[in-house]
Each structure stands twice: as C-alpha cells, then as structure tokens.
Amino acid sequence: MAGFPKVNGQELIDQLTEQAHAVRGRRCAWARVVETIEHRDDDVIELHTAAGETLPATRTMIITAGHGAFNPRTLGCPSWRRSQGAGLHYSSRRRPHFAGKRVALVGGGDSALDWAMNLQDTARLPIAL
C-alpha cells in the first residue's frame, strides 16, 4: 500500500474501518445480510436484513458485491432491471453523479468500504453494508 512500508491485510482493514467510523454523519452497518430490497413508488429504496432490521431509506444504492469490475453480479429480481442506472448502480466512474445524494453501498469484501471512503466528501450519507 502506498505510504506504508509494511502493512498486513488485517492492519489495513482495521485502519480503514477506524477511518470510516471517524467520519461524522456516516453509518456503517458491517456484517449484515440484505434479504429484501423494496423499491417504493416514491423512488425510495428500503433494505431489510435477514435479522429483521430495516436500514435507513435511500434513493441511491451501489452494489459492491466484489464479483469483478467487468462482470458484476446483478440482482436476480426482474423488477429491479428498470432501476439500473437510475438509482441502482453496479459501478460508477462518475463520482460527481452522487453529489449530495443519500447512498447505500451494498456488498462484500472491501469494495463497499472503498466506495464509502471514496464518496464520503461527495454523497450525503454513504452507508456501507
């Protein structure tokens, strides 16, 4: 990692997690399994976990499942296809597109954390799940 002569994977994860928690107004919900995703008529997205928890509503969600930048693992729900690119994104190369928007980042591995850190000064409330 640039700027660190020696850092192992767990140390890097711990440091990135500490940095993410230091940003005021951001919510990180680690180790949650999203069981259902509801797209309401008012274009608000609601996420519900397997544990019965309802996460904060959002209008924008980025799925960071870690499958690969070129072949994202898409949601298997036909009704969500209409939302692709309009509220539901599997990736984005245009950070300003999320300026001032409430964003929920859904994924595994370090992808969600990377996006949360990347959007912390752009999006209103990046939430990493």
Q: 129 pLDDT band (50/70/90 cuts)?
A: low
Whole-model pTM over 0.85? no
Task: Please give the backbone phi and psi of residue 19, each rounded to the nearest 5 degrees, phi first.
Answer: -65, -40
β 127-128/27-28 pair status: parallel
Given a contact cutoff of 8 angstroms between Cβ atoms, the answer to whether 9 and 17 are in contact is no
Helix (H, G, I), strand (E, B) or coil at 82: helix
Is pLDDT at 116 greater than 60 in this prediction? yes
Q: Residues for the chain: how many in total? A: 129
Q: What is the pLDDT of residue 105?
A: 79
Domain locations in the chain? 27-128
CA distance linking residue 18 with residue 40, whole number of Å: 34
Among the listed ranges 71-75, 88-92, 113-117, 118-122, which one has the minimum average pLDDT value?
71-75
Residues 6+ apart with CB under 8 A from 100: 122, 123, 124
